[in-house]
Amino acid sequence: MKRTHSSGGRPFNPETLALGYGYDPSLSQGAIKPPVFLTSTFQFESAAHGKRFFELAYGLKDREKGEDPGLIYSRLNNPNLQMFEERLAAWDQTEKGAAFASGMSAISTSMLALLQPGDHVLSSAPVYGGTHFLFENILPRFGIEVTQIPAGDDFVAQLAAQAEQIGPEKLRVIYLETPANPSNLMVDIEAVSALARRLSVGERPIVTAVDNTFLGPVFQRPAALGADLVIYSATKFIGGHSDLIAGVVTGPEGLLKEITAMRTILGTMATPFSGWLLLRSLETVSIRMRRQAKNARALAQLLAEHPKVERVYYPGLFEEGSAQKLIYDKQCTGPGSLIAFDVAGGEEAAFRALDRFEVIRLAVSLGGTESLVEHPRSMTHADVPPEMLQRFGVGPGLIRLSVGIEHLSDLKRDLRHALD
Ligand SMILES: Cc1ncc(COP(=O)(O)O)c(C=O)c1O
């Protein structure tokens, strides 16, 4: 397929592009799959080539139309990363992608690239515990303030009020995690992106960044809804096999240029081998996510009917006519496979259930082929003060379940066994 993105003017679908886009087998002995390019550096054909590659990589000169940027050094670029980045950008309908060593390095590198002292970030809440720590404890050390606004029905109104108070010169990033980890609450990406555009003044427009880890790239495409940056922990569904840690950002060329420049200096890129694993994984992401969501729908229903379960948080169960359901219908094409639920009896009862699972494994992380359960309040979100978690709807009895591809009957049996 080489670098062909379309045929006869019709673009290929991302599922098809995931199998070959950006790879020319004739350059690798005809191998049907790209080899892993385990190399730190690349040999230049001539000194003039080396000079030109650096001019392009460091943005010293503009690229001619169709000119290949050239391979230099694996902290700057590498074929395994480039193929993965191009294929995911195609999936997200964005211009560029950049792969990172982890989801956290994707988030922190992007924030450091976009922000400077005096800037302000507005964020939905809750967010993943690591992101919360970055926002509350690290960015403020660089003179960057972050205000978190609970996701919920009046989110956009609250955001608009806060944005007005801060002023468009200082407000630089609106950061959304939707659905939120672990509460599954959603915010309206289209409304927020439109607000950011309306408020933007001068040369530093407000950037809307969306953590798309829970539903992307299959069930949610933030760029099509107006968001500027799409951020993932690729450790989760994109990697999909719980065997790697990685992150990725997609978006327009201009922003990605700033972010990859920061990645080059911080050295937060993914390794070639992670890039190779991600290429393998991207081939099946659509099949895996659909199967996982099918299992999750059935388990969410079982939980909703179980007498020991007080409440289930799952997009497939949003109440008809509710604000959350309207957002879901507008921006998602499937409910995903993350379920949060409150068991009666708080932490003690939650721990009792967690210790009884046999098929579903007690471990943090999500999005892999195997089902995992954890207790957000004492594990993934242990960094977040309990009173804040309570405000964001994360109580002591809340369990988060990431549903895998196991046989549904075994998962149902395991869930009943743990809860009964
Ligand atoms: C929604 C979300 N974003 C970001 C991250 C961070 O990703 P990583 O663990 O790959 O650094 C996580 C990790 O759990 C997450 O759930």
Measured from the CB, is residue 332 less than 6 Å from ligand 1?
Answer: no
Strand partners of residue 272: none
**How many angstroms separate the Cα of 315 from the Cα of each of 40, 138, 219, 240?**
44, 32, 12, 21
**Assigned superfamily of 285-419:** Aspartate Aminotransferase, domain 1 (3.90.1150.10)
Please report the pLDDT score of residue 259 as a whole number.
Answer: 98
Please report the pLDDT score of residue 77 as a whole number.
Answer: 96
pLDDT at 3 over 60: no
Please report the pLDDT score of residue 24 as a whole number.
Answer: 94
Please report the pLDDT score of residue 49 as a whole number.
Answer: 95
The strand order across the sheet containing 207-211 reads 96-100, 247-251, 229-233, 207-211, 171-177, 120-125, 145-150
Measured from the CB, is residue 102 less than 6 Å from ligand 1?
Answer: yes
pLDDT band at 4 (very low <50, low <70, confident <90, very high): low
Q: Which atom of ligand 1 is nearest to the CA of 236?
A: 10
From 107, 109, 128, the mutation candidate for ligand 1 (largest count of ligand atoms within 8 A of CB) is: 128
Q: How far apart are CA 51 and CA 73, in angstroms?
A: 13
Ligand 1 centroid–CA 381 distance in Å is: 11
Q: How far apart are CA 346 and CA 364, in angstroms?
A: 19
Q: Where in the chain are the domains?
A: 285-419
pTM (2 d.p.): 0.96
Q: How far apart are CA 265 and CA 75, in angstroms?
A: 8
From 236, 365, 379, the mutation candidate for ligand 1 (largest count of ligand atoms within 8 A of CB) is: 236
Ligand 1 centroid–CA 29 distance in Å is: 37
Q: Which two tokens stand for residue 198?
A: 């309306």
Strand partners of residue 400: 340, 374
The DSSP code for 22 is T
Please report the pLDDT score of residue 91 as a whole number.
Answer: 96
Q: Which two tokens stand for residue 219?
A: 């069930």
Q: What is the pLDDT of residues 293-314, one digit of tens each?
A: 999 999 999 999 999 999 999 9
Measured from the CB, is residue 177 less than 6 Å from ligand 1?
Answer: yes
Q: What is the pLDDT of residues 126-183, one digit of tens each?
A: 999 999 999 999 999 999 999 999 998 899 999 999 999 999 899 999 999 999 999 9
Ligand 1 centroid–CA 128 distance in Å is: 6
Measured from the CB, is residue 309 less than 6 Å from ligand 1?
Answer: no
Q: Which two tokens stand for residue 50?
A: 């080396």
From 175, 176, 233, 237, the mutation candidate for ligand 1 (largest count of ligand atoms within 8 A of CB) is: 233
Ligand 1 centroid–CA 321 distance in Å is: 31
Please report the pLDDT score of residue 66 as a whole number.
Answer: 83
Measured from the CB, is residue 182 less than 6 Å from ligand 1?
Answer: no
Average pLDDT of the chain? Answer: 95
Q: Which two tokens stand for residue 54?
A: 């650096």
Measured from the CB, is residue 276 less than 6 Å from ligand 1?
Answer: no
Q: Which atom of ligand 1 is nearest to the CA of 131?
A: 4
Ligand 1 centroid–CA 365 distance in Å is: 8
Q: What is the pLDDT of residues 218-263, one digit of tens each?
A: 999 999 999 999 999 999 999 999 999 999 999 999 999 999 999 9
Q: Which atom of ligand 1 is nearest to the CA of 104?
A: 11
pLDDT band at 5 (very low <50, low <70, confident <90, very high): confident
pLDDT at 277 over 50: yes
pLDDT at 1 over 50: no
pLDDT band at 105 (very low <50, low <70, confident <90, very high): very high
Q: How far apart are CA 407 and CA 92, in angstroms?
A: 30
Please report the pLDDT score of residue 399 as a whole number.
Answer: 98
Measured from the CB, is residue 235 less than 6 Å from ligand 1?
Answer: yes
Closest CA to ligand 1's atom 10: 103
Ligand 1 centroid–CA 176 distance in Å is: 13
Ligand 1 centroid–CA 105 distance in Å is: 10
Taking alpha carbons only, the member of 369, 3, 83, 380 closest to residue 248 is 83
Closest CA to ligand 1's atom 6: 103
Please report the pLDDT score of residue 7 as a whole number.
Answer: 73
pLDDT band at 117 (very low <50, low <70, confident <90, very high): very high
Q: Which atom of ligand 1 is nearest to the CA of 214?
A: 1
DSSP per position, 239-259:
T-SS----EEEEE-HHHHHHH
Q: Assess contact for 402 and 367: CB atoms under 8 A.
A: yes
